[in-house]
Amino acid sequence: MQMTTKLRAALFGLMGLAGLTTASLADSGNVRMTIYKAGFVIGGSGGNGVLNFHGRTYGLSIGGIDYGIVFGGSKTELQGRVSNITRASDVAGVYGAAGAGLALGTGARAIVLTNQKGAVLQLTGKQVGLLANVDLSGLAITLK
């Protein structure tokens, strides 16, 4: 009986170490992207960008749809980090957000998004154009 308890404790200890090892393998990279957005009630967005990860550069394709109160058009240039990834393909996925904003001319933009793989995008930049929005939006990122 006592041997079973020791064996169980050892197994739980090994599983805990395996979990720590897996978590410690998560890494981060740098991201730059340009997104064009336009709409009237229903909006769309598209653009491209790059991911720098482990000394390599990967092209990104960006597309999305917005639904709510959307009027106008804008160009947004963002840069920042993507974290909690183990390989470049982890940045690919669907990111969702609810937001509100008003861009008249040039304005600052900051956003944090998470995809289904757990990748976290922390981006800042500038938005240029005439755009008013209160909407739900989805952003899909794929590797080129």
Percent of the chain past pLDDT 90, that is, above it, reads 42
* pLDDT of amino acid 107: 77
Domain boundaries, the chain: 27-143
Query: Which helix (H) or strand (E) segment is 81 a member of?
Result: strand 56-85
Q: Is the pLDDT higher at 142 or at 126?
A: 142
- Rounded Cα distance, 126 and 36, in Å: 12
Q: Which of 27, 64, 60 is nearest to 44 (CA)?
A: 64
What is the per-residue pLDDT across 60-97, written as a single tens digit (0 to 9) for each?
999 988 877 778 888 989 999 999 999 999 999 999 77
Task: Give percent above pLDDT 70 in the chain.
Answer: 77
Half-sphere exposure of 73 (CA within 13 A, CB side): 3
Q: Indicate the pLDDT class of residue 8, thresholds 50, 70 and 90.
A: low
- pLDDT at position 69, please? 76
Q: What is the mean pLDDT of residues 44-66?
A: 94
Strand 56-85 versus strand 120-143 pairing type: antiparallel
Between CA 120 and CA 125 the distance in angstroms is 17
Most confident of 7-11, 53-57, 106-110, 120-124: 53-57
Give me the mean pLDDT over the 28-38 stretch: 95
Mean pLDDT of the chain: 81
The DSSP bridge pattern shows strands 56-85 and 93-114 to be unpaired
Q: Specify the pTM.
A: 0.75
Give the CATH number of domain 27-143.
2.40.128
